Amino acid sequence: MEEIKDEKQFKRGVNHGYILAKHRPDLLKGILEVNKERNDFIEGLAAGGTEYELQKGKETERIEGLKKIRDVGKSQNKERGY
């Protein structure tokens, strides 16, 4: 990644990239593939998409952890006859 020259454009790109990754990942992928000439907005789009994927992964891990806790509780209740 190059040095950010226009922070406002980069932040705007991050926000748009996050939203696109969440709702239209196919469109974000296409935009990033077509735009070979990188600027601060495009770099922000890529960073926003990456941030969404990281957050989604953390959320998935959290949900899996909660499911395990719930399953342990259910099995303990079964053992106790509830």
Residue 66 pLDDT: 83
pLDDT in tens, 31-74: 999 988 889 999 999 999 999 999 988 888 888 888 888 877 66
d(CA 29, CA 17): 10
pTM above 0.85, yes or no: no
Instruction: Give the model's pLDDT for residue 71.
Output: 77
Q: Are 48 and 14 in contact (CB under 8 A)?
A: yes
Looking at residue 4, its pLDDT comes to: 87
- Spatial separation of the C-alpha atoms in residues 8 and 39, rounded to whole Å: 12
